[in-house]
């Protein structure tokens, strides 16, 4: 446990030491939100204010961008000399990976708060009670943890940091092909089935429902099931891949 804390502090410190990556992680979601609200927003007719509709989607996008960088940091560790030092010091692989995931969670909390603050500035007015607001954050952060572990598994399975960077594009595709930015019914028919049945949609719908004080219905249960499933599979794959790479 204490090694995991040390590894978390390390990952956070390293994140602050590469300002370009940190800026990307913080500014990219904010810029995308501005782009969606002001550039595309005028063309989207969904019956409610688009900024309120899209902010939950931007929060999801922000989460996957932040979590995806875990793939790169994990891959860099595995391909550098430091992994041998950690192993020869008896640091468990799970502590190393958990440190990366915990740091990702903390980074994401910062970027989520930033996105929410900017969202308020450009007219986002959720009508949620504090309890619903908190519940939305919990679901979002659970999703961040699951996707961070998925990214860690990705980083362990690829052999270079460049390839690990591909995780972000893969994850972003899932965010776009969902109800994050436009309702699923407006998508081409062949994409609707996929969009409705992949994790980004129920997670977005849950957060949106909680924040906008609308009924979340079955989305909450499906979102939690996706997060739990992703988490379980990703942790298992990570542990397996770590063992295989360090055999």
Partner 1 sequence: MSEELAIHASGLVKSYGDVRVLDSLDLRVPRGSVFALLGPNGAGKTTTVRILATLSRPDAGQAWVAGFDVVRDRPRVRRRISLTGQFAALDEGQTGEENLRMMGALARLPRTAARRRAAELLEQFDLTAAGRRRVSTYSGGMRRRLDLAASLVARPEVIFLDEPSTGLDLPSRQTMWHVIEGLAASGVTVFLTTQYLEEADRLADQIAVLDGGRLVAQGTAAELKRRVGTRRLDLACVSAQAWAEVAGRCGDRAVHLDEASLTVGVPTDGSAAQVRALLDEADPGRRLIASFVVREATLDDVFLTLTGTAKETTRV
What are the residues binding partner 1 (CB under 8 A)?
2-3, 6, 9-10, 13-14, 17-18, 80-91, 246-247
Q: Distance (Å, rounded) from C-alpha 232 to C-alpha 42?
A: 41
C-beta of 103 vs 177, nearer to partner 1: 103
* Least distance CB 91 / partner 1 (angstroms): 5
C-beta of 2 vs 48, nearer to partner 1: 2
C-beta of 55 vs 101, nearer to partner 1: 101
* Least distance CB 9 / partner 1 (angstroms): 8
121 to each of 30, 125, 204, how far by Cα in Å? 11, 10, 21
Helices 161-176, 130-157: axis angle to 10 degrees equals: 140
* Least distance CB 245 / partner 1 (angstroms): 11
* Least distance CB 218 / partner 1 (angstroms): 45
C-beta of 21 vs 187, nearer to partner 1: 21
C-beta of 129 vs 246, nearer to partner 1: 246
Q: Distance (Å, rounded) from C-alpha 188 to C-alpha 225?
A: 27
Contact between 101 and 145 (Cβ < 8 Å): yes
* Least distance CB 22 / partner 1 (angstroms): 11
Task: Please name the helix (run of DSSP H) or strand (run of DSSP E) that holds residue 141, with its range, or none.
Answer: helix 130-157
What φ, ψ does residue 92 adopt, rounded to 5°?
-65, 145
């Amino acid at each position: 446990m204490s090694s995991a804390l040390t590894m978390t502090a390390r990952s956070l410190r390293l994140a602050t030491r590469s300002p370009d990556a940190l800026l990307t992680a913080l500014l990219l979601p904010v810029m995308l939100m501005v782009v969606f609200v002001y550039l595309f927003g005028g063309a989207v007719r969904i019956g409610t204010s688009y900024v309120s509709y899209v902010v939950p989607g931007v929060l999801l996008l922000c989460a996957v961008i932040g979590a995806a960088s875990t793939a790169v940091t994990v891959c860099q560790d595995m391909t550098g000399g430091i992994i041998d030092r950690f192993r020869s010091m008896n640091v468990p692989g799970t502590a190393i990976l958990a440190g990366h995931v915990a740091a990702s969670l903390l980074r994401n909390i910062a970027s989520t708060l930033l996105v929410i603050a900017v969202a308020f500035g450009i007219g986002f007015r959720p009508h949620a009670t504090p309890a619903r607001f908190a519940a939305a954050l919990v679901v979002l952060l659970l999703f961040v943890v699951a996707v961070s572990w998925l990214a860690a598994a990705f980083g362990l399975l690829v052999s270079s940091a460049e390839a690990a960077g591909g995780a972000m594009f893969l994850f972003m595709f899932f965010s776009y092909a969902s109800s994050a930015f436009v309702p699923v019914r407006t998508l081409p028919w062949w994409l609707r089935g996929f969009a409705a049945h992949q994790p980004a949609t129920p997670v977005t719908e849950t957060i949106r429902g909680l924040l906008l004080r609308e009924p979340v219905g079955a989305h909450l249960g499906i979102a939690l099931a996706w997060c739990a499933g992703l988490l379980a599979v990703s942790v298992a794959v990570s542990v397996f891949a770590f063992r295989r790479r360090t055999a």
